[in-house]
Amino acid sequence: MQYYECYSASYTSARGKFLAAAEESKGALRSFVHPDKTTPDGQPLAIDVARFGDPKAARQALFVSGTHGQEGFSGSAVQIGWMRAGGPSRLPKDLGVVLVHGLNPYGFAHFTRTTENNVDLNRNFIDRSAGAAPANPRYETLHEDLKIRDWTDEENARVDRAMAAFTEAHGRDALFDTLARGQYRHPDGLIFGGSDREWSNATLETIIQEMLSDAEKVAFIDWHTGIGDYGKPFFLCFNDAGGQLFARACDWWGKENVDGVRPHGMERPNYTGLVFQGVQRFLGNRQMCGAVIEFGTRGLGMRRVLRLDQWLRRQSDLEPDARATLQADMMDAFCPFDGQWRKDTLESGLKLTDQAIEGLAAW
Ligand SMILES: [Zn+2]
Protein backbone atom coordinates (compact mmCIF):
# COMPACT_ATOMS: atom_id res chain seq x y z
CA MET A 1 0.00 0.00 0.00
CA GLN A 2 1.44 3.36 -1.02
CA TYR A 3 0.86 6.44 1.11
CA TYR A 4 -0.63 8.37 -1.82
CA GLU A 5 -3.37 5.74 -2.11
CA CYS A 6 -4.52 6.84 1.36
CA TYR A 7 -3.67 10.56 1.39
CA SER A 8 -5.68 12.81 -0.91
CA ALA A 9 -5.30 16.22 -2.50
CA SER A 10 -8.89 17.36 -1.96
CA TYR A 11 -11.82 16.67 0.35
CA THR A 12 -13.83 15.20 -2.52
CA SER A 13 -11.03 12.74 -3.36
CA ALA A 14 -10.62 11.82 0.30
CA ARG A 15 -14.35 11.23 0.57
CA GLY A 16 -14.33 9.09 -2.58
CA LYS A 17 -11.43 6.98 -1.31
CA PHE A 18 -13.08 6.54 2.09
CA LEU A 19 -16.40 5.41 0.59
CA ALA A 20 -14.68 3.09 -1.90
CA ALA A 21 -12.48 1.48 0.77
CA ALA A 22 -15.50 1.03 3.06
CA GLU A 23 -17.52 -0.65 0.31
CA GLU A 24 -14.59 -2.85 -0.66
CA SER A 25 -14.24 -4.03 2.94
CA LYS A 26 -18.02 -4.56 3.27
CA GLY A 27 -18.61 -1.82 5.80
CA ALA A 28 -22.10 -0.48 6.50
CA LEU A 29 -22.12 3.10 5.22
CA ARG A 30 -24.18 6.06 6.25
CA SER A 31 -23.72 9.64 5.03
CA PHE A 32 -24.95 12.75 6.81
CA VAL A 33 -25.06 15.32 4.02
CA HIS A 34 -24.60 18.95 4.98
CA PRO A 35 -27.97 20.71 4.63
CA ASP A 36 -26.78 23.87 2.88
CA LYS A 37 -23.02 23.99 2.25
CA THR A 38 -20.91 22.51 -0.55
CA THR A 39 -17.27 22.19 -1.55
CA PRO A 40 -15.71 25.20 -3.37
CA ASP A 41 -16.69 23.59 -6.70
CA GLY A 42 -20.24 22.74 -5.68
CA GLN A 43 -19.85 19.09 -4.64
CA PRO A 44 -21.72 17.79 -1.57
CA LEU A 45 -20.25 17.95 1.92
CA ALA A 46 -20.99 15.09 4.28
CA ILE A 47 -19.93 13.38 7.45
CA ASP A 48 -19.52 9.79 6.26
CA VAL A 49 -19.70 6.92 8.72
CA ALA A 50 -18.48 3.39 8.04
CA ARG A 51 -19.04 0.64 10.52
CA PHE A 52 -17.50 -2.79 10.81
CA GLY A 53 -17.77 -5.82 13.03
CA ASP A 54 -20.64 -6.46 15.40
CA PRO A 55 -22.92 -3.38 15.70
CA LYS A 56 -24.52 -4.82 18.84
CA ALA A 57 -21.28 -5.61 20.66
CA ALA A 58 -20.69 -3.96 24.02
CA ARG A 59 -17.19 -2.96 22.90
CA GLN A 60 -17.10 -0.30 20.20
CA ALA A 61 -14.30 1.81 18.76
CA LEU A 62 -15.03 5.34 17.54
CA PHE A 63 -12.34 6.91 15.36
CA VAL A 64 -12.87 10.46 14.08
CA SER A 65 -11.10 12.48 11.38
CA GLY A 66 -11.42 16.08 10.26
CA THR A 67 -12.56 17.81 13.47
CA HIS A 68 -10.18 20.57 12.48
CA GLY A 69 -11.01 20.77 8.78
CA GLN A 70 -7.74 20.62 6.90
CA GLU A 71 -6.06 18.44 9.56
CA GLY A 72 -8.49 15.82 8.25
CA PHE A 73 -6.22 14.79 5.38
CA SER A 74 -4.02 12.98 7.89
CA GLY A 75 -6.77 11.26 9.91
CA SER A 76 -8.59 10.36 6.70
CA ALA A 77 -5.44 8.66 5.38
CA VAL A 78 -5.22 6.55 8.54
CA GLN A 79 -8.89 5.51 8.30
CA ILE A 80 -8.57 4.67 4.60
CA GLY A 81 -5.27 2.87 5.20
CA TRP A 82 -6.77 0.78 8.02
CA MET A 83 -9.55 -0.42 5.71
CA ARG A 84 -7.26 -1.02 2.74
CA ALA A 85 -4.78 -2.94 4.88
CA GLY A 86 -7.50 -5.41 5.90
CA GLY A 87 -8.25 -4.01 9.37
CA PRO A 88 -11.96 -4.91 9.18
CA SER A 89 -11.28 -8.56 8.38
CA ARG A 90 -8.97 -8.90 11.40
CA LEU A 91 -11.53 -7.70 13.94
CA PRO A 92 -12.25 -9.98 16.90
CA LYS A 93 -15.79 -11.35 17.13
CA ASP A 94 -17.42 -9.32 19.85
CA LEU A 95 -16.36 -5.85 18.80
CA GLY A 96 -17.46 -3.08 16.44
CA VAL A 97 -15.63 -0.17 14.81
CA VAL A 98 -17.25 3.10 13.77
CA LEU A 99 -15.19 5.37 11.50
CA VAL A 100 -16.41 8.98 11.32
CA HIS A 101 -14.87 10.67 8.28
CA GLY A 102 -14.73 14.47 7.98
CA LEU A 103 -16.49 15.62 11.14
CA ASN A 104 -16.02 19.21 9.91
CA PRO A 105 -16.42 18.67 6.17
CA TYR A 106 -16.67 22.39 5.39
CA GLY A 107 -13.22 23.09 6.85
CA PHE A 108 -11.80 19.95 5.24
CA ALA A 109 -13.05 20.97 1.78
CA HIS A 110 -12.25 24.67 2.11
CA PHE A 111 -8.77 24.14 3.61
CA THR A 112 -9.46 25.80 6.94
CA ARG A 113 -9.45 24.73 10.58
CA THR A 114 -12.90 26.04 11.46
CA THR A 115 -16.48 25.28 10.41
CA GLU A 116 -18.85 27.04 8.01
CA ASN A 117 -19.52 29.51 10.85
CA ASN A 118 -15.80 29.99 11.54
CA VAL A 119 -16.18 28.02 14.78
CA ASP A 120 -13.39 25.90 16.23
CA LEU A 121 -15.36 22.63 16.40
CA ASN A 122 -12.96 21.26 19.01
CA ARG A 123 -14.09 24.01 21.42
CA ASN A 124 -17.80 23.77 20.49
CA PHE A 125 -18.79 20.82 22.71
CA ILE A 126 -19.32 22.73 25.96
CA ASP A 127 -22.39 21.72 27.94
CA ARG A 128 -24.75 24.58 27.07
CA SER A 129 -27.32 23.38 29.61
CA ALA A 130 -24.79 24.06 32.36
CA GLY A 131 -25.09 27.84 32.20
CA ALA A 132 -22.85 30.51 30.70
CA ALA A 133 -20.02 29.53 28.36
CA PRO A 134 -16.61 29.31 30.06
CA ALA A 135 -14.77 32.60 30.36
CA ASN A 136 -11.25 33.22 29.12
CA PRO A 137 -10.56 36.55 30.83
CA ARG A 138 -6.96 36.87 29.70
CA TYR A 139 -8.01 36.42 26.09
CA GLU A 140 -10.12 39.57 26.49
CA THR A 141 -6.94 41.55 27.12
CA LEU A 142 -5.23 40.13 24.03
CA HIS A 143 -8.02 39.86 21.47
CA GLU A 144 -7.54 43.21 19.73
CA ASP A 145 -3.76 42.88 19.64
CA LEU A 146 -3.91 39.36 18.19
CA LYS A 147 -6.11 40.26 15.28
CA ILE A 148 -3.92 40.64 12.21
CA ARG A 149 -5.05 43.43 9.90
CA ASP A 150 -2.82 42.70 6.94
CA TRP A 151 -0.55 39.79 6.05
CA THR A 152 2.77 41.64 6.25
CA ASP A 153 5.99 41.06 8.19
CA GLU A 154 5.33 44.28 10.12
CA GLU A 155 1.88 43.18 11.22
CA ASN A 156 3.16 39.74 12.23
CA ALA A 157 5.98 41.39 14.18
CA ARG A 158 3.42 43.58 15.98
CA VAL A 159 1.38 40.52 17.02
CA ASP A 160 4.56 38.74 18.12
CA ARG A 161 5.48 41.74 20.29
CA ALA A 162 2.05 41.67 21.93
CA MET A 163 2.51 37.97 22.74
CA ALA A 164 6.04 38.59 24.03
CA ALA A 165 4.76 41.33 26.36
CA PHE A 166 2.05 38.98 27.64
CA THR A 167 4.66 36.25 28.20
CA GLU A 168 6.82 38.73 30.07
CA ALA A 169 3.91 39.52 32.40
CA HIS A 170 2.31 36.09 32.84
CA GLY A 171 4.69 33.42 31.53
CA ARG A 172 4.62 31.16 28.48
CA ASP A 173 2.29 28.55 30.00
CA ALA A 174 -0.33 31.27 30.60
CA LEU A 175 0.03 32.50 27.03
CA PHE A 176 -0.45 28.99 25.66
CA ASP A 177 -3.48 28.43 27.88
CA THR A 178 -5.02 31.77 26.83
CA LEU A 179 -4.43 31.13 23.13
CA ALA A 180 -5.58 27.52 23.16
CA ARG A 181 -8.24 26.84 25.79
CA GLY A 182 -11.15 28.34 23.83
CA GLN A 183 -13.17 31.57 23.95
CA TYR A 184 -16.88 32.20 23.39
CA ARG A 185 -17.17 35.95 22.98
CA HIS A 186 -15.35 36.96 19.82
CA PRO A 187 -16.52 35.36 16.55
CA ASP A 188 -13.70 37.19 14.76
CA GLY A 189 -11.05 35.91 17.17
CA LEU A 190 -8.95 32.80 17.53
CA ILE A 191 -10.28 29.51 18.96
CA PHE A 192 -13.87 30.77 18.96
CA GLY A 193 -16.04 27.95 20.31
CA GLY A 194 -19.30 29.27 18.86
CA SER A 195 -22.43 30.82 20.28
CA ASP A 196 -24.45 27.67 19.63
CA ARG A 197 -23.97 24.02 18.71
CA GLU A 198 -22.59 23.46 15.23
CA TRP A 199 -24.28 21.10 12.75
CA SER A 200 -21.27 18.77 13.12
CA ASN A 201 -21.74 18.70 16.89
CA ALA A 202 -25.45 17.76 16.68
CA THR A 203 -24.68 15.20 13.95
CA LEU A 204 -22.04 13.51 16.09
CA GLU A 205 -24.57 13.18 18.89
CA THR A 206 -26.99 11.52 16.43
CA ILE A 207 -24.24 9.14 15.28
CA ILE A 208 -23.49 8.15 18.87
CA GLN A 209 -27.17 7.72 19.75
CA GLU A 210 -27.87 5.61 16.69
CA MET A 211 -24.67 3.61 16.33
CA LEU A 212 -23.35 3.25 19.86
CA SER A 213 -26.68 2.56 21.54
CA ASP A 214 -25.53 -0.87 22.77
CA ALA A 215 -21.96 0.16 23.54
CA GLU A 216 -20.78 -0.21 27.12
CA LYS A 217 -17.07 0.34 26.54
CA VAL A 218 -15.86 2.75 23.90
CA ALA A 219 -12.34 3.28 22.56
CA PHE A 220 -11.96 6.75 21.11
CA ILE A 221 -9.43 8.48 18.87
CA ASP A 222 -9.79 11.98 17.45
CA TRP A 223 -7.03 12.46 14.84
CA HIS A 224 -5.31 15.86 14.66
CA THR A 225 -2.08 17.47 13.52
CA GLY A 226 0.12 20.30 14.75
CA ILE A 227 1.43 19.31 18.20
CA GLY A 228 4.47 17.13 18.79
CA ASP A 229 7.76 16.36 17.11
CA TYR A 230 7.75 16.36 13.33
CA GLY A 231 6.00 13.26 11.99
CA LYS A 232 5.61 11.76 15.48
CA PRO A 233 2.38 11.11 17.41
CA PHE A 234 1.50 13.21 20.44
CA PHE A 235 -1.21 12.09 22.88
CA LEU A 236 -3.72 14.24 24.68
CA CYS A 237 -5.76 11.92 26.89
CA PHE A 238 -8.63 13.68 28.65
CA ASN A 239 -9.70 10.83 30.89
CA ASP A 240 -9.17 11.78 34.55
CA ALA A 241 -5.45 11.64 35.24
CA GLY A 242 -4.85 9.00 37.87
CA GLY A 243 -8.13 7.21 37.08
CA GLN A 244 -8.61 3.71 35.70
CA LEU A 245 -9.54 4.88 32.20
CA PHE A 246 -6.44 7.03 31.99
CA ALA A 247 -4.35 4.04 33.09
CA ARG A 248 -5.99 2.00 30.34
CA ALA A 249 -4.98 4.55 27.68
CA CYS A 250 -1.44 4.32 29.07
CA ASP A 251 -1.60 0.53 28.67
CA TRP A 252 -2.72 0.80 25.07
CA TRP A 253 -0.20 3.33 23.83
CA GLY A 254 2.58 3.36 26.44
CA LYS A 255 2.64 5.29 29.71
CA GLU A 256 5.69 7.25 28.58
CA ASN A 257 3.70 8.55 25.57
CA VAL A 258 0.48 9.40 27.39
CA ASP A 259 1.26 10.37 30.98
CA GLY A 260 2.79 13.73 31.87
CA VAL A 261 3.59 14.73 28.30
CA ARG A 262 3.80 18.48 27.65
CA PRO A 263 2.48 19.93 24.38
CA HIS A 264 5.16 22.20 22.86
CA GLY A 265 7.05 21.66 26.15
CA MET A 266 4.44 23.56 28.17
CA GLU A 267 1.60 22.93 30.62
CA ARG A 268 -1.42 21.49 28.89
CA PRO A 269 -4.07 24.20 28.40
CA ASN A 270 -7.43 23.90 30.18
CA TYR A 271 -9.21 23.15 26.93
CA THR A 272 -13.00 23.61 26.95
CA GLY A 273 -15.62 22.15 24.62
CA LEU A 274 -13.53 19.34 23.16
CA VAL A 275 -15.07 16.63 20.97
CA PHE A 276 -13.58 14.20 23.53
CA GLN A 277 -15.68 15.83 26.28
CA GLY A 278 -18.77 15.88 24.05
CA VAL A 279 -18.47 12.16 23.33
CA GLN A 280 -18.12 11.46 27.06
CA ARG A 281 -21.29 13.44 27.71
CA PHE A 282 -23.25 11.80 24.87
CA LEU A 283 -22.31 8.37 26.23
CA GLY A 284 -23.65 9.21 29.69
CA ASN A 285 -22.49 6.69 32.25
CA ARG A 286 -20.95 4.31 29.69
CA GLN A 287 -17.16 4.13 29.82
CA MET A 288 -15.00 5.81 27.20
CA CYS A 289 -11.24 5.71 27.03
CA GLY A 290 -9.03 7.29 24.42
CA ALA A 291 -7.16 10.33 23.24
CA VAL A 292 -6.77 13.15 20.83
CA ILE A 293 -3.78 11.99 18.82
CA GLU A 294 -1.79 14.66 17.03
CA PHE A 295 1.00 14.31 14.50
CA GLY A 296 3.71 16.94 14.89
CA THR A 297 4.39 19.46 12.14
CA ARG A 298 5.93 22.91 12.78
CA GLY A 299 5.72 23.14 16.58
CA LEU A 300 5.16 26.69 17.83
CA GLY A 301 5.47 27.86 14.22
CA MET A 302 1.80 26.83 14.07
CA ARG A 303 0.84 30.07 15.84
CA ARG A 304 1.70 32.12 12.78
CA VAL A 305 -0.19 29.68 10.57
CA LEU A 306 -3.34 29.73 12.74
CA ARG A 307 -3.31 33.51 12.26
CA LEU A 308 -2.84 33.03 8.52
CA ASP A 309 -5.81 30.65 8.37
CA GLN A 310 -8.01 33.24 10.09
CA TRP A 311 -6.71 36.09 7.95
CA LEU A 312 -7.36 34.13 4.74
CA ARG A 313 -10.94 33.47 5.92
CA ARG A 314 -11.55 37.24 6.03
CA GLN A 315 -10.17 38.08 2.56
CA SER A 316 -12.82 38.20 -0.13
CA ASP A 317 -10.86 39.93 -2.89
CA LEU A 318 -7.36 38.57 -2.43
CA GLU A 319 -5.45 38.16 -5.69
CA PRO A 320 -5.83 34.43 -6.60
CA ASP A 321 -2.10 33.70 -6.92
CA ALA A 322 -1.36 35.31 -3.56
CA ARG A 323 -4.15 33.26 -1.99
CA ALA A 324 -2.85 30.04 -3.51
CA THR A 325 0.72 30.78 -2.37
CA LEU A 326 -0.28 31.58 1.21
CA GLN A 327 -2.74 28.70 1.36
CA ALA A 328 0.02 26.28 0.29
CA ASP A 329 2.19 27.46 3.21
CA MET A 330 -0.74 27.04 5.61
CA MET A 331 -1.68 23.60 4.25
CA ASP A 332 1.92 22.42 4.41
CA ALA A 333 1.92 23.39 8.10
CA PHE A 334 -1.25 21.41 8.87
CA CYS A 335 -0.51 18.42 6.66
CA PRO A 336 3.03 18.54 5.25
CA PHE A 337 3.34 17.67 1.56
CA ASP A 338 6.58 15.87 2.49
CA GLY A 339 6.09 12.24 1.45
CA GLN A 340 8.23 11.01 4.34
CA TRP A 341 6.01 12.77 6.90
CA ARG A 342 2.98 11.21 5.26
CA LYS A 343 4.48 7.72 5.16
CA ASP A 344 5.58 7.97 8.80
CA THR A 345 2.25 9.28 10.09
CA LEU A 346 0.28 6.71 8.13
CA GLU A 347 2.39 3.85 9.46
CA SER A 348 2.19 5.21 12.97
CA GLY A 349 -1.56 5.84 12.75
CA LEU A 350 -2.19 2.25 11.64
CA LYS A 351 -0.20 0.92 14.57
CA LEU A 352 -2.00 3.15 17.09
CA THR A 353 -5.36 2.09 15.63
CA ASP A 354 -4.46 -1.58 16.05
CA GLN A 355 -3.25 -0.96 19.61
CA ALA A 356 -6.57 0.69 20.50
CA ILE A 357 -8.54 -2.20 18.99
CA GLU A 358 -6.40 -4.81 20.76
CA GLY A 359 -6.79 -2.89 24.01
CA LEU A 360 -10.53 -2.64 23.53
CA ALA A 361 -10.79 -6.37 22.81
CA ALA A 362 -9.01 -7.14 26.07
CA TRP A 363 -11.05 -4.62 28.13
ZN1 LIG B 1 -6.50 19.96 15.67
The whole model's pTM is what? 0.97
Q: How confident is the model at residue 31 (pLDDT cuts 50, 70, 90)?
A: very high
- The per-residue pLDDT for range 168-195, each reduced to its tens digit, is 999 999 999 999 999 999 999 999 999 9
- C-alpha of residue 225 to centroid of ligand 1, in Å: 6
- The per-residue pLDDT for range 223-237, each reduced to its tens digit, is 999 999 999 999 999
Mean pLDDT score of the chain: 96
Domains, the chain, in order of start with CATH, read: 3-134+183-362 (3.40.630.10)
How far is residue 36 CA from its own chain's centroid? 22
Q: What is the pLDDT of residue 135?
A: 94
Mean pLDDT in residue range 20-27: 98
Q: Which of 127-131, 253-257, 311-315 has the lowest mean pLDDT?
A: 127-131
- How many Å apart are CA 306 and CA 330, to the nearest integer? 8
Mean pLDDT in residue range 306-315: 94
- The per-residue pLDDT for range 270-291, each reduced to its tens digit, is 999 999 999 999 999 999 999 9
- How many Å apart are CA 72 and CA 64, to the nearest integer? 9
Q: What is the pLDDT of residue 131?
A: 87
- C-alpha of residue 145 to centroid of ligand 1, in Å: 23
- C-alpha of residue 270 to centroid of ligand 1, in Å: 15
- C-alpha of residue 224 to centroid of ligand 1, in Å: 4
Q: What is the pLDDT of residue 242?
A: 87
Mean pLDDT in residue range 244-248: 97
Instruction: Give the DSSP H or E segment for 359.
Output: helix 339-362
- How many Å apart are CA 273 and CA 277, to the nearest integer? 7
Q: What is the pLDDT of residue 2?
A: 96
- The per-residue pLDDT for range 143-166, each reduced to its tens digit, is 999 999 999 999 999 999 999 999
Does residue 130 surpass a pLDDT of 90?
Answer: no
- The per-residue pLDDT for range 81-126, each reduced to its tens digit, is 999 999 999 999 999 999 999 999 999 999 999 999 999 999 999 9
Q: How confident is the model at residue 325 (pLDDT cuts 50, 70, 90)?
A: very high
Q: What is the pLDDT of residue 187?
A: 93
Q: What is the pLDDT of residue 1?
A: 92
- How many Å apart are CA 36 and CA 284, to the nearest integer? 31
- C-alpha of residue 92 to centroid of ligand 1, in Å: 31
Q: How confident is the model at residue 133 (pLDDT cuts 50, 70, 90)?
A: very high
- C-alpha of residue 300 to centroid of ligand 1, in Å: 14
- C-alpha of residue 93 to centroid of ligand 1, in Å: 33
- How many Å apart are CA 281 and CA 273, to the nearest integer? 11
- C-alpha of residue 193 to centroid of ligand 1, in Å: 13
DSSP state of 96: E
- C-alpha of residue 230 to centroid of ligand 1, in Å: 15
Residue 346 and residue 77 in contact, taking contact as beta carbons nearer than 8 Å: yes
Bigger pLDDT: 199 or 130? 199
